[in-house]
């Protein structure tokens, strides 16, 4: 099926068009905007992009007038396969309780772990599918989804199978599954005189059993680990990364959310695609990430929720790092499904420009997920488009708080309107 969409602004995010004289985006815009643009889609793919006046005449066309077309948004960091609710612990926190009291009351990651243990795989898949549908209604056409609340192999596999089930829905975002192998220590490995032995035994089990089995079952494309103070050490995460690389998984890591313990260097060493959070990172490591092509995935909803200082964005930018912006959707520290809200916060709190933010949630996010045929409107790529009920692409990040989509299309199919 062939169809042409036209609009006042077609934001391709295609570097080949950025600032070219044929298009009227003007020099310096990295977004490759075509004014009075047209996108021809044929089945699941983009067949042609250009000026509406140059578009083929014999094809069914739909004109969106003064609106904006962008690539479908790509949310490259989510924990969307959760169950339960952590509203109770949020209320505690707002009353001034610290994390120890919250943990003593059964809150934190272990509370979501218990909810994952209790829910059936079918219900988990159904809840995730509903969440993905809501994300699509905000403009998301590709979504990374992590496991990490299972902690045992059986429950991690259950979470990843639920993700695979939800991913079969062609009317929801394209899903990229990540095995978050080292997220938190199970409760039974935390306390007692032999806590160190139990911790080591847990990491051994993850490295020698969880990673190979899950990789061989093709339940994930990426491995993730939480490398931070009060989480896992560089040495522990390195063992998981090496096991994953040996089995063909790519790497993305939670790094520097609370402290710089060397996670960025580990990421550069093991050829990670992305380091995520990076509130705490030094200049030498930032240059190393830029040199190795490791993306920095910024998660402003998390630092907003936790009342943290932003990452050193100006320093990272000067070092040449490429940014991704993601929602970090999770029930505790980033309780939102909205990538557009994360984009608005990236501008308001982190000082990214609107153009940087749009690239960070489309092209760069797709590249960080090894999805080169998404995130850019270009011939041959998947037809993943958002038609925004907005006069300019910068209005995606201001105002915020409401859905502004006119239509969302993935692989040429309607996801939301
Ligand atoms: Zn996360």
State yes or no: pLDDT of 25 exceeds 90.
no
Residue 143's DSSP bridge partners are 75, 175
Say which range, 96-100, 201-205, 249-253, has the weakest mean pLDDT. 96-100
What's the rounded Cα separation, in Å, for the pair 196 and 186? 13
pLDDT in tens, 233-254: 999 999 999 999 999 999 999 9
CA of 79 to the centre of ligand 1 (A): 6
State residue 339's pLDDT score.
98
More confident residue, 23 or 160: 160
User: Using 50, 70 and 90 to split pLDDT, how confident is the model at 310?
Assistant: very high
Q: What distance in angstroms lies between residue 289's CA and the mean position of ligand 1's atoms?
A: 19
Q: Measure 25 CA to ligand 1 centroid, in angstroms.
A: 35
Task: Calculate how far, in angstroms, residue 371's C-alpha sits from the geometric centre of ligand 1.
Answer: 20
Give the percent of the chain with pLDDT over 70.
98
The token pair at 394 is 């910068």
CA of 47 to the centre of ligand 1 (A): 36
pLDDT at 36 over 90: yes
Res 401: pLDDT:
87
Distance 163 CA to ligand 1 centre (A): 16
Q: Which residue, 79, 294, 265, is CA-closest to 180?
A: 79
Q: How far is the CA of 383 from the centre of ligand 1 (A)?
A: 28
Which pTM does this prediction carry?
0.96
Length of the chain: 417
What's the CA-to-centroid distance between 326 and ligand 1, angstroms?
Answer: 9
Tell how far the Cα of 177 is from the centroid of ligand 1, in angstroms.
13
CA of 59 to the centre of ligand 1 (A): 44
Q: How confident is the model at residue 19 (pLDDT cuts 50, 70, 90)?
A: low
pLDDT tens column, 255-303: 999 999 999 999 999 999 999 999 999 999 999 999 999 999 999 999 9
Rounded to the nearest angstrom, the distance between the alpha carbon of 354 and the centre of ligand 1 is: 23
**What is residue 102's predicted lDDT score, i.e. its pLDDT?**
85
Mean pLDDT of 89-104: 87
Q: Residue 103 pLDDT more than 90?
A: no
CA of 77 to the centre of ligand 1 (A): 6
Q: Quote the ligand 1 centre to 41 CA distance (angstroms).
A: 35
Q: Pick the residue with more confidence: 72 or 108?
A: 72
Q: For residue 106, what pLDDT band results from cuts at 50, 70 and 90?
A: confident
* Residue 26 confidence (pLDDT) above 80: no
**Ligand 1: distance of its center to the CA of 75 in Å?**
12
End-to-end CA distance of the chain: 19
| Ligand 1 mean position, distance from CA 180 (Å) | 9
**CA–centroid distance, residue 392 to ligand 1 (Å):** 31
Q: Cα of 337 to ligand 1 centre, how many Å?
A: 13
Q: What is the pLDDT of residue 20?
A: 56
| Separation of CA 254 and ligand 1 centre (Å) | 6
**Residue 21 reports pLDDT greater than 80:** no
**Cα-to-centroid distance, 328 and ligand 1 (Å):** 5
CA of residue 240 to ligand 1 center, whole Å? 17
What pLDDT does residue 28 have? 55
Mean local confidence (pLDDT), 354-381: 98
Instruction: Note the pLDDT of residue 105.
Output: 83
Lowest model confidence (mean pLDDT) among 5-19, 117-131, 215-229: 5-19
**26 alpha carbon – ligand 1 mean position (Å):** 37
Cα(68) to ligand 1 centroid in Å equals 31
Q: Residue 158 C-alpha to ligand 1 middle, in angstroms?
A: 19
pLDDT (mean) for 321-337: 96
> Is 197's pLDDT higher than 60?
yes
């Amino acid at each position: 099926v062939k169809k042409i969409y036209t609009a006042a602004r077609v934001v391709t995010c295609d570097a080949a068009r950025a600032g070219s004289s044929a298009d009227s985006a003007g020099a310096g815009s990295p977004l490759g905007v075509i004014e009075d643009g047209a996108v021809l889609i044929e089945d699941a793919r983009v067949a042609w992009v250009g000026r509406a006046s140059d578009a083929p005449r014999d094809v069914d066309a739909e004109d969106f007038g003064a609106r904006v077309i962008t690539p479908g948004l790509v949310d490259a960091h989510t924990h969307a396969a959760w169950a339960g609710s952590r509203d109770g612990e949020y209320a505690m926190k707002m009353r001034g309780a610290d994390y120890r009291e919250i943990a003593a009351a059964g809150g934190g990651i272990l509370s979501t772990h218990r909810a994952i243990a209790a829910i059936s795989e079918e219900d988990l898949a159904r809840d995730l599918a509903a969440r993905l549908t809501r994300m699509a209604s905000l403009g998301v056409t590709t979504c990374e989804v992590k496991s990490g609340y299972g902690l045992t192999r059986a429950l991690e596999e259950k979470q990843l199978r639920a993700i695979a089930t939800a991913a079969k829905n062609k009317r929801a975002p394209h899903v990229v599954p990540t095995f978050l192998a080292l997220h938190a220590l199970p409760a039974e490995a935390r306390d007692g005189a032999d806590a160190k032995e139990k911790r080591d035994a847990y990491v051994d089990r993850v490295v020698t059993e969880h990673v190979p089995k899950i990789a061989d079952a093709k339940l994930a494309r990426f491995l993730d680990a939480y490398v931070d103070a009060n989480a896992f050490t560089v040495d522990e995460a390195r063992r998981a990364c090496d096991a994953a690389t040996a089995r063909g998984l790519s790497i993305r890591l939670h790094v520097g959310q609370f402290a710089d313990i060397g996670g960025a260097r580990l990421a550069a060493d093991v050829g990670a695609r992305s380091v995520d959070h990076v509130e705490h990172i030094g200049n030498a490591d930032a240059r190393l990430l830029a040199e190795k092509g490791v993306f920095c995935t910024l998660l402003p909803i998390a630092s907003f929720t936790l009342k943290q200082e932003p990452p050193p964005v100006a320093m990272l930018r000067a070092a040449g790092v490429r940014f991704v912006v993601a929602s970090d959707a999770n029930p505790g520290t980033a309780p939102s499904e909205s990538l557009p809200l994360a984009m608005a916060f990236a501008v308001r709190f982190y000082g990214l420009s609107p153009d940087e933010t749009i690239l960070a949630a489309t092209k760069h996010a797709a590249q960080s997920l090894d999805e080169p045929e998404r995130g850019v409107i270009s011939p041959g790529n998947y037809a993943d488009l958002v038609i925004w009920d907005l006069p300019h692409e910068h209005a995606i990040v201001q105002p915020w708080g409401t859905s502004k989509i006119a239509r969302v299309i993935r692989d040429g199919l309607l996801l939301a309107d």
